[in-house]
Structures are given as C-alpha cells and as structure tokens.
Chain A
C-alpha cells in the first residue's frame, strides 16, 4: 500500500517501477512537507539521495564561479527532481543548496536503493535513467561553472547532450602530456592537479577544482596536450568533444580565454611537500598532526588511545610523513608529522565502499564505524588512500545487528573519541602539547592559498611553555634550601612534595568526567606542575637532609631521590633539546623498532639503484659513499654538525664533485645514492637521539618506585623513634 502521492510515481524518474521496487524506495526514502523558505539541503551536506517534487516549487541555488554570493540557478516544479548530483557517487557532498520557494512536498529517494529498484525493471531502463540523472546533474554543474559566463542557457543545454562522463579515482590520469587533444573538460566534482614532466621529474603547475574548465593550448589548435592532468582524489569530469564545443561557442572570445591553466611559475620549493599531496589536506575535515619539534616520542598518545578503546588497539601509530607548513594566521613555519590516523575526510572514500553502511558521518563531521554493522570485509581498509583503517579483533560479547556478521575481525579507525569523555584521548594525554587536531583548510597557509578556501583562517595550535614556571620556582627553592627549619617541618614538606610528584602518574591515567574537552592537552598543566614541584622538592629535601648520606634507610632514601631527580632533570632537558635536533634530520617519522629495518632496507635499495649505472657511479659509491654510510661514528658527526638533511646532502654532493672533478656529468643517478646514504647516516643519528629521549623514563620510574618504598620505611622508622 503505497503512501506517496501519485505525482511522485508519475514523474519521469520513478515511472514504471514495480510494486516491490516502490515499496523498497518508500521504506528507505522519506516524504517531507516543508514550508516556504525552508531549506531542503545545504551546500556541503552529505549527498546520498535525490528529491522529487510532489507539490510546490523548489529553488536550487549555488555560487556561480567567480561570484561572491549564491544565486538561484534553477527552479523545479511538480514532477522534477533536485539533488541529482547524488548519482555521482555515494558520499559526495552537495555543491548547491535547495530551498523551497513555496509550500512544498518532496520525496527523498536514496540513490543506492533507486538503482536496485530500477535494475529490477531492466538494465536498459536503469542505464537510461542513470544517464538522465547524470545529465541533469551536469546541467546544474554547467550552470554554476565558469562556462556560463560565456554561453547562453540554451547553448549550455545543447552542450549537455554532447557530453560524456568520466569518473576518475585517485591517481588516474585524465590525459597525459603528448596525448592527442580531442576533448575539453569541466570538473564537476573533485580536484585535479596539472603537471608537466621535465627530465622525468613531475612539476605541479596548478590545481583545478569543481567548476573549472580544463583546456590547454588553444581550443582551435589540434596539437597534443602539453600537460598531464591527473585526479587527486575521486573526481567526476565531464568531457566535451572539442569540435562540439567550438561549434557551440563559436565567436565567443571569452570562452577561448577561459582556462585557468597557464604557465604559472612553479610553486615555491619550500612548500613543495604540502602541495605534493594537496588533496589530502583539502579533503581533511580534522587532521591529527604532531608537532615534530616538540614531540618527545614518549608514546603517551598511542598508549592512551589503546586504553580509551575496549579492544586495546591503538588507532594511532607514530609513523608518517613529515610536512612543513606555514601558519595561516601568523605565517610562522612549523614542521608536522602526520601519523596514520583518520583525518575525517569531507568525502570519505571508506564510506563509499562499505556494503552494509556501517561507516557514517555525524553532524560534526566525524567519520565513525558502527561495530554492530561491520562484517569485516576490509573494503574500507583498501579504499582509504592513506591506510588509516585497520582490522582489529572483534570484542567478545558485543551485540551484532547483522546476523551475517560472522567474521572475527572488524574495521577500526580513529573516531575522534566521540563516545569517550573529554575529547580525543591522544590530544588530552600529550605532556608537551605536541599533538592536536587541525583543519588544514583553515590553518595552513599553503593549502588556503592553493585552494582559495572559504571561511576565516585559524592559528595552528600553540604550545604552553614550561620555562616561566621553572624560572619562577628557582628562587623559591633557593629560599627553601637556605631556610632553617626543624627536621620535622622540612621532612613533612619534602614528603608531601614527593607524594605530589608521584601523584602525576595517577593524574595522567584518570579519565575526565566532563565530556567535550577543549581540544587541548589535559596533561600538559600537570606536566608543568610536575616539573615545578620537582624543583621545589629538591629544595625541600636539601633543607631536610643536607648533603650527607647517613648509613641507614634515610640515607638510601636520599640516594634514591637524588637518582630520581637527576634522571628527571635529564629527561626534561632531553625533551627540550632533542626533538629539534631530531626534526632536522628526519623526513619520515619512525618508531625506534622500525629504524633497524629501515637501515637494512636502505642498504638493499642502494644495490637496486646501482644496477645498470655507469662504472664511475659504481666506483664512487664503493669508495666514497659506502664507507660514508657505514662509518660507526658517522651519526655523531652529523649530529655535531647540526645540519639538516638537505644541507648534508649538498655537502656530500660537493665532496663528490671535488673528488671527481670534471666527470660529474657522467654520474647519473648519483643524487639518489647521495640521498640514500645520507638517510642511512641519519638513521644512526635518529637512533642515538631517540635513545636519548626514551632511556630516562624507565630509570626515572624505577628510581621513584624505590624512593617511595624507602620513604615509607623512613617514615615508619621516624614514627617509631618518637
């Protein structure tokens, strides 16, 4: 018994469906009655359904390319549809907005169910409707594109008939340099990069996105393409045969000057890395970044992530690319590591392929996986371009919504701790304020410049400094040490301070009760307090015990406290000074256990690079570069020099040029080898530095445990002695 009005079922889109198909659509879809002026959907909303107008009028409005504000591009009446761009791919976002011009009733039809229902009727029918939906969506795209300035609406409509659609995946090439030029293209959705290949190296010239026309050279010319265009992510491109475009647009000079493609100067070298994968930053809703010059590699973030989830699996791994970006608000340059953690894309590729709809997005934009619906098919794992989804064992005892789900593993990924109190556990656990979630489009200058992002700019997260507190506590400590207190008073004070110091370990593990953290580290103030209290405790202990070590439990306590203090001070100094040195020599953040493997890998890669090279290159490698890479104290020299990786590469290169003299030109491929050996040396340096960072903590904790046990013994002795 269908409840939807006849006008819906008589519309061109839904005509001819059989009763089971209609039932499916009604069950999955929605019928809504809206007042005049009500919004049906906004730009940026998730697009998984299109809407058929049963009654009333609906306006579609969008920002035409080059305008500042939105304007109405189309009005839909009874029987027409809006929101056909959902057909492009599930999980797309709306580029236009729809509002009701009058009181209206609209029926929402989810695209995936629509497809199945039409295929029940016949695949020809389904195909025809699919094509019609795409054409309608393309028409809206054209109306909002840069083309509409140069062509009349009728000409645009005629153009729509001639087009053909290309759906590209990440990395797919639209056309390559040297291919014959037969079509012009309009980007309906997604982003593409335009690059030229000089001497085998790709150079990015420009980025184009939704609404841009892609045409290089002149429309009339028939030479081959001069650039390569490839998709940065899932993209929908509309291809127009050039001849047809010329027919329709004959005489319009504006059109011929249209393309934003130009031989613009290459983007600055310093920001090359960010732009090398610009799409990743533009697509990210909330990206987890770690400040490379602050991170102490203590692993607290990964540990707290594993504790925050029931299955004990950390969604965060401290390996990843390093990028250098400029703050959009202040312009300062910062280095960040991108750990393998979900960045909550605006167009989640993982969501698209999920067969059960287990992956969803909540209104705040966070992408999450519903464990009850996950069947462990691993499609999302394969779909994510950055490997942010992993498989983990299913937690026993959880209810499973789907009877089909028999797999032992489910997909897990960072969900920004949406059901954990206090916001992301990793962010609130960092003792040095190094990890934070940022929105690249708002906070990174290069991304904003390249993509022309809307919205205000924001600062990158700032760290809270500890040194003012330490500097302030030094005079207090000196005063305490010089004070003449009775042993009882100074003893109680020391004991209290030591207990507070030890309490830091408990405070770190307590989960906050308030929900919705401020997005900053909860542990950082406690870490600063820990440092300041440590300084004060030293003063109190010196006031209490002096410098002599009595041969009893009290003496042992003093020794243990001294060891704990010294390791603590060493750790604080290391946390302050080492990350900067580490940031200079690494291009890719690695865990300590990865470094030996990487070293071996580099050795083997060198052989791969050497095969087929000239004899000069081989002998340079054998006599100069291999010893350079293998010298045991080499990493120490690298650290002592304090140079960054690139500087070191240039130095080695200059050394080779001096040694070889005029024959440098014959040394093809030597740059790759130099890069490899410098990285090999840098790995040794990284091991040293990481050991410097991490070696203190076990000693510190053990010393503290010994000191606490001895404190108990000492207090008992003193109490009994009274």
Chain B
C-alpha cells in the first residue's frame, strides 16, 4: 500500500513496536512449550547425591512431575526422621513442615559427601568441589543453610528459640544443627539404614563435614542462568524484529535510483489546450502549472491567453482536476527544434546527443532528467559495443559535455556513477548558465527522485543558493568542469569526435567517443561592442555570479533585458553599490513585468541611474566613456557588467550535422 508522503516515524513506529513485542512473546511461548513441564516449575537442579543415585523424577513425584511431593518418597528411601522439637513436630503434623522445607531436593540443597577413599567432596546443587579433609568413606552429610530456618525464625528477636541453637555468625563460621532428628545424647541404633547413611559414629562424619564447610565456606548454590538467557533471547528477538522493521522502512522510503526513469521528450507538435467552459471551475490549477503564462482565468473560466508561448509539454492537462482541459488532437508542428529520437540522440548526426532547453523542453527539472537519461544511454551504448568504460584511458573522454547547466551537470554526475570518463566544457561560468525561473510557478513542484542528480534541484532557492549548491556538487563528486572553454567546432572522424574549444589565450582540441550538446538557447553572450583597454579586460564581466562580491563598487550595467534587470535588482540590495545603467533603446521594451516594475521603482527612488539611448564607447581601467543624447560622458566605474543577450549557436550545431525540424 502506497502511503502518502507525510507518514512520519511516529506513526510507523507503533507497528514496529507491536511486531517486536509479538515476536518476543512468540519466542517465550516456543521455549515454554519446548521445555519439559518439570523444568518450568523446577526450583533448581537436583541435589548431587540424588543424581549420583540416579533417582528418577517418578520416584518422588509420581505421575505428575510438577506437583510438589509429600514427605513419603523421602521416608521411603531414608526412613522416617521425625523432629525432636515439639514445635516442628506440630508443624509437620499440620503439613506446613516437610522434609523439603529444610532439605530441599532441588536448588538450595548443599552438603558434603565423603568418597569411598575418604576424600571430601563439597557439593551444592549438582556442582561439587573437592576438599583435602577426609572422613568416613561413603557418608553424605547434608548441610542445612540458616536461610531455611530464618524463613520462620528471626535471629534478632530475643525470644526466638533459634537463638539457643544458632550461635551468632561472628563466633563460628558454621552452625549446623545436630540434634534436629536425633538428640545428641541418644545413641545411634544398630539399624542398618541408619548405619549405612550416617556411619558407625554419626558424630564423626558430622564433625568432618563441619570442618570441610568451615574451610571452604558455606556453599552457595550455583546459579542457573536459564531464566536470564530465556529473557535475553526473547528481548533480543524483539530487538531484531524492531530493527528489521525500521531498516526496511528506511530502505523503502529512500527508494533506489530508477534506471528506467522516462526521459522527457520534446513534443513534435504543439497542441493547444482546449477548455470546456461548461465544466471548467476556474480553479487555477492549469494556470499555475503552465510555466509560460499561456493560460489565464477570465470570468471564472480558463482561457488560452498567449497561444504563441505554448511549448506543448502538457503539464496543464495533467493538472486539470476534472478533465475540462484537453489538448487538441491536431496542432502545428513545432518550429525551430532539433531532430532527435526518443533517446535524445540526433537523428542526423549519430553519436551527438542533445539535452536541456536546446531540445525545446522547458523547466530545469526536465533538463536534469534529460541529462541523466543521455548519460545512461551513452553508457549502455558503449557497453553494448563491448567497450567497457575505461575511465579515461585510451586518450580522450568517453563523453564530452558542452555546457555546464543543469542538463550538462546532471549528465556528468550520471556518467561518473556509471564509470564513464566525462569532461564538461563551459563557455563562461556556471553562473551564466543559470536561468531565472518564474516565481510562484515552481512552489509546489515535487522534488526529483534521483539520489545524486536530485541534488542539483532546489525548490524556491535564490540563484546564489542554487549556484552554491551546484559548485558544491561539482566539488564533492570531483566532476571535470572546465570553464572559459567555448566550443567552436565538433568534427566527426573514424573513432569518435574531435572537439575544438577556444579559451582566453588559445585553442584546445579534445577527443571524445560521444558528445552531448547541452548549450541551451541563449547562445554565446554578445560581446561588448566597445574599445576595451587590455588592462581593463578583466573588469568587463558577462555574467553576475555573486552580487555580494560587487558590494561597495561602482558598477555600470549595459543592457536592459531580464538578466540585466535581475542583476540590477540584486546589486541594488548590496549596501554602498553605485549602479548606472546604459541602454541603447529608448525605454523598457522587453522582459517580465515584475522585473520592469522593480527597476522602475529603483529608478524612481534614485537608487540607480538609467541612461537611455546610450552606447559604451571605451572602457578604461577606472573610467568608461559613454555616448548618449547629451554627448560623450565620462563615468567613474569599477566594473562593467555587460548583459546584452546572446548570439545563437546555430552555426555550431549545423556544422556538427544536427538538423532542425521544419528547416
């Protein structure tokens, strides 16, 4: 049964504990049933003399092994031993005192036996210790522990009769009652049984036993560990069951990476949504699902407001709760899209893969899934060609990725997981490849279910946080990402591809078996068309990686598109930063309404200065020359941030052999 997402450990713990308790109880029951009944109630091991004499359970207990026998069986072997004391005799008649009260046959029994050669053996329970004293051979003297008496008697009470017998412990280590059954003065009769049990002189054996006990100390009955092991094993079983349930739940919750995760494919035709106005409830689910504001709710019914933005990915259809939104059956073929097959391999240039925004599929999470899917496909393909991943040996990478955006990084991660050698070439920095996504559209997007690649995806993060996350992922996994390498040409030769890239200073060529183009749609940042002094070249930036680094500086932002406006807003939040904007147009013509509003507000407040109709003429170390309707202006500037849009990479793709749908 699939449980909803918010089942916490508190709730599932109850079942685990129940199972653990039940399994422990089962173990107890099993042991209880397996143990003979006699042992279950047994007060301890049989006394040694009885063991030696091979007395069976039936001899004393009769048919019912768990019933405490009367004194009859004892008398049957040992003969009657009435007490000399009136009180004890009265109790014996009443049945409250029997042989086993003082001479337990199990458990607490202890005594001294003299072996046939006269050596003494002190035993307790069924354990015996040898002693060096000797005594009359073949005689056993039972030792009655004081605890048998103190069940009824109280040594400390002044009027207690036991004070006459028992000397206080300090005076003598052993107190053995001699005259319980036979008075001291009475001689032992010539009865055979008595002589056999006690020897000719009862006194002698008794004295020898006393000295043995004094030497070796009063024997303590060996403790049986049976109850402890029983309980311990039951608890251990319960503990194992609990741990097992917890572990299985944790494994199930984490989920294993899904190799068969479907790679989002680019739609071939754009099918516009069609809304049944009679059934549409105006619930806004489709409006929230669409990343491009194609749908809107007017008069409580959804309508297609901007059909030209529709990308055909159909998240709106999935989000509609009652099926009033359906995609049309027919639609225009998607223009301006590269031709790729289901595995995102170019249909016209085999060996070259495409992923990310370039394929026409929007959203970062789709780019991540596509990148991972391509790396999987490449690894499977190389395996099937019997070229096991060499991990870099053989001169050249197995997979070369162009573009360090979400798709490219995801492919590099998955390649590393699969053991492929992989190099990522990025034309500027990872920061430049981050696209801003519309606020409020991804608030309820579920996280990506891939353990490693999912780390590239952060819900509701700022760009800085996302970038920091990506950098950390690259560092942790040791991905080979080379920034500042702009790929200029991809040529195919006999054993793979040769990729040429331009760095700041020279041109490098790399070899690869497979190439993944994850270059997005923005292209190469357009260079600033101005005279830049060589010493000032490092002051001209084409991407804003961290606004905080520019705190307190004088910044000139050239351009007024979405990227430029977002950079302006980020910089305006830094204390002490002076921001000037130079834009060649006349007004705010492009970009999202929200960005425009914020920048206009900043301008109205005087936080930034905007020069319309202005172009940058020259960039020096600390000065920038700007031409605007007022003539040439010299601005004191530390850093120039040129965010001027991009030059399309179409030529690179055409030269590589990638063809586009509909020309």
Contact (Cβ within 8 A) B11 A549: no
Given contacts A698-B17, A713-B32, A556 and B8 within 8 Å (CB-CB): no
A551 to B38, CA, bound (A): 12
Of B45, B235, B548, B549, most A-chain CB atoms within 10 Å:
B235
In Å, the complex CA distance between A563 and B227 comes to 13
Does A391 lie at the interface of the complex (its beta carbon under 8 Å from any beta carbon of B)?
yes
On whether the beta carbons of A376 and B321 are closer than 8 Å, the reply is yes
- Tell whether, in the assembled complex, residue B67 and residue A720 are in contact, meaning their CB atoms are under 8 Å apart: yes
Q: Would you call B444 an interface residue if the criterion is a C-beta within 8 Å of the partner chain's C-beta atoms?
A: yes
Q: How many residues of B contact A (CB 8 A)?
A: 77
Per the bound structure, the CA–CA distance linking A613 and B549 in Å amounts to 8
Complex Cα–Cα for A698 and B6 (A)? 23
- Of B9, B22, B575, B601, which one neighbours A593 at CB under 8 angstroms? B9
B residues 204-243 in Cβ contact with A at 8 Å = 223-228, 230-231, 234-235, 238-239, 242
Specify which chain B residues have a CB less than 8 angstroms from the CB of A392 in the assembled complex: 4
Structural contact, B235 and A702, CB atoms closer than 8 A: yes
B8 touches A703 (CB 8 A): no
Task: Contact check, B21 vs A224: say whether CB atoms are below 8 A apart.
Answer: no
Contact in complex: B8, A612 (CB < 8 Å): no
CB of A559 within 8 A of CB of B322, answer: no
Chain A to chain B contacts (Cβ below 8 Å), 26 pairs: A116-B300, A299-B13, A306-B11, A311-B4, A313-B6, A375-B283, A404-B281, A404-B324, A405-B321, A406-B321, A552-B42, A553-B40, A553-B227, A555-B227, A556-B226, A556-B231, A563-B231, A613-B548, A697-B17, A698-B20, A702-B238, A702-B239, A705-B21, A705-B22, A713-B32, A720-B37
Choice from B66, B226, B472, B605 contacting A717 with Cβ under 8 Å? B66
Q: Is B448 an interface residue (CB 8 A)?
A: no
A559 touches B8 (CB 8 A): no
Chain A residues with CB under 8 Å of B25's CB are 705-706, 708-709
Residues of A within 8 A of B469 (CB): 604, 608
What residues on A are CB-neighbors of B283 within 8 Å?
A: 353, 355, 375, 377, 379
B227 & A701 in contact (Cβ 8 Å cutoff): no
Known: A382-B288, A551-B43, A551-B45. 10 other contacts (CB 8 A): A116-B300, A377-B285, A406-B321, A607-B472, A611-B546, A698-B16, A710-B28, A713-B40, A717-B40, A720-B66
Task: Give the residue name and chain of the A residue nearest to B234 (CB).
Answer: A706
Of B7, B9, B68, B231, the contact of A559 (CB 8 Å cutoff): B231
Give A273-306 interface residues, CB cut-off 8 Å to B: 298-300, 302-303, 306
Asked whether any CB of chain A lies closer than 8 Å to the CB of B107, the reply is: yes
A548 to chain B, nearest CB (A): 9
User: A691-712: contact bitstring with B at CB < 8 Å (1 yes, 0 no)?
Assistant: 0000001110111111011100
Indicate if the CB atoms of B285 and A379 lie closer than 8 Å.
yes
B50-91 vs A: 1/0 string, CB under 8 Å?
Answer: 000000000000001011100000000000000000000000
Give Cα A668 to B150, complex, Å: 79
Which among B16, B24, B64, B575 is the interface contact of A200 at CB below 8 angstroms? B575
User: How many of A's residues come within 8 Å of B, CB to CB?
Assistant: 78
Q: Is the pair B443, A382 in contact by a Cβ cutoff of 8 Å?
A: yes
Q: Give the CA-CA distance A119 to B282 in the complex, in Å.
A: 15
What is the minimal beta-carbon distance from B39 to any residue of chain A, in angstroms?
Answer: 7
Select B464's contact among A558, A611, A613, A718, beta carbons within 8 Å: A611
Closest to A300 in B: B10
Question: With the chains together, A559 CA to B226 CA distance in Å?
Answer: 11
A302 in contact with B10 (CB, 8 Å)? yes
Tell me, yes or no, whether B618 is within 8 Å of chain A by CB. no
B29 within 8 A of A: yes
The closest CB in chain B to the CB of A178 belongs to B605
Contact B444 A299 (CB under 8 A): no
Encode contact with A along B275-290: 1 for CB under 8 Å, 0 otherwise: 0000101111100100
> In the complex where A302-B8, A406-B322, A706-B24 touch, is A553 in contact with B41 (Cβ < 8 A)?
yes
Closest to A509 in B: B14
**Residue of A at shortest CB range from B282?**
A355
Is B590 interfacial (CB-CB < 8 Å)? Answer: no
Check if B167 is an interface residue, CB within 8 A of chain A.
Answer: no
A:513-567 near B, CB below 8 Å: 549-560, 563
Chain B interface mostly: helix
Measured between C-beta atoms, what is the minimum distance from B278 to chain A in Å? 10
A-contacting residues, B23-37, CB 8 Å = 24-25, 28-29, 32, 37
B40: chain A residues within 8 A (beta carbon): 552-553, 713, 717
Q: Contact at A356–B281, with CB atoms within 8 Å? A: yes
Cβ A607 vs Cβ B10 within 8 A: no
Q: Which of A378-414 contact B (CB under 8 A)?
A: 378-379, 381-382, 390-393, 404-407
A713 and B227 CA atoms in complex are apart in Å by 13
Q: Is the CB of B549 within 8 A of A612?
A: yes
The answer to whether A552 touches B4 (Cβ under 8 A) is: no
Within 8 A of B (CB), among A669-722: 697-699, 701-706, 708-710, 713, 717-718, 720-721
Q: Is the CB of A553 within 8 A of B323?
A: no
Is A591's CB under 8 angstroms from B8's CB?
yes
- B239 in contact with A406 (CB, 8 Å): no
Tell me if A549 and B322 are in contact (CB < 8 A): no
Report A-chain residues with C-beta under 8 Å of the C-beta of B227. 549-553, 555-559
Q: Say yes or no for A314: interface residue by CB 8 A criterion.
A: yes
Instruction: Show the binding face of B for A, using Cβ within 8 Å.
Output: 2-11, 13-14, 16-17, 20-22, 24-25, 28-29, 32, 37, 39-45, 64, 66-68, 107, 223-228, 230-231, 234-235, 238-239, 242, 279, 281-285, 288, 299-300, 321-324, 443-444, 464-465, 468-469, 471-472, 546, 548-549, 575, 601, 604-605, 607
Contacts of B21 in A (CB 8 A): 701-702, 704-705
**Quick one: which of A404, A553, A563, A702 has the most chain B CB within 10 A?**
A702
Residues of A near any B CB (own CB < 8 A): 116, 119, 123, 176, 178-180, 200, 224, 298-300, 302-303, 306, 311-314, 317-318, 353, 355-356, 375-379, 381-382, 390-393, 404-407, 549-560, 563, 591-593, 604, 607-608, 611-613, 697-699, 701-706, 708-710, 713, 717-718, 720-721
Bound complex: CA of A557 vs CA of B279, how far in Å?
A: 68
Q: In the complex, what distance in Å separates the CA atom of A242 from the CA atom of B502?
A: 61
Partner pick for A612 among B321, B465, B546, CB 8 A cutoff? B546
Chain B residue with the shortest CB-CB distance to A613: B548
| A655 and B13 alpha carbons, distance in the complex (Å) | 42
> What's the nearest-Cβ distance from chain A to residue B458, in Å?
10
The answer for the CA separation of A299 and B9 in the assembled complex, in Å, is: 8
B285 touches A378 (CB 8 A): yes
Instruction: Select from chain A the residue with minimum beta-carbon distance to B279.
Output: A404
| A554→B223 CA distance, assembly (Å) | 14
CB of A667, distance to nearest CB on chain B (Å): 15
Q: Which residues of B contact A591 (CB under 8 A)?
A: 8-10
Instruction: Indicate if the CB atoms of A593 and B8 lie closer than 8 Å.
Output: yes
CB neighbours (8 Å) of B45 from chain A are 551
Q: How far is the CA of A598 from the CA of B67 in the complex (A)?
A: 63
Closest to A552 in B: B42
Residues of chain A within 8 A (CB-CB) of B464 are 608, 611
- Inter-chain contacts of A119 with B (CB < 8 A): 299
A431 CB to nearest B CB, Å: 13
Contact check, B235 vs A706: say whether CB atoms are below 8 A apart. Answer: yes
Q: Which residue of A lies closest to B238 (CB)?
A: A702
CB distance from B610 to the nearest CB of A (A): 17
State whether B8 touches A608 (Cβ < 8 A): no
Q: Contact at A379–B9, with CB atoms within 8 Å?
A: no
Which residues of chain A are within 8 angstroms of B238 by Cβ–Cβ distance?
698, 702, 705-706
Give the CA-CA distance A314 to B465 in the complex, in Å: 32
Least distance between A299 CB and chain B CB atoms (Å): 2
| Chain A residues within 8 Å of B37, by CB | 717, 720
Is B10's CB under 8 angstroms from A702's CB? Answer: no
- B20, A702: Cβ atoms under 8 Å? yes
What residues of B have a CB within 8 angstroms of the CB of A404 in the complex? 279, 281, 321-324
Contacts of B288 in A (CB 8 A): 382
Cβ B107 vs Cβ A709 within 8 A: no
Kindly provide the distance from the CB of B322 to the nearest chain A CB, expressed in whole angstroms: 4
Quick one: given A550-B44, A709-B29, A717-B41, are A314 and B6 in contact (CB under 8 Å)?
Answer: yes
Q: Closest 4 A-B residue pairs measured CB to CB? A: A299-B10, A551-B224, A702-B238, A555-B227
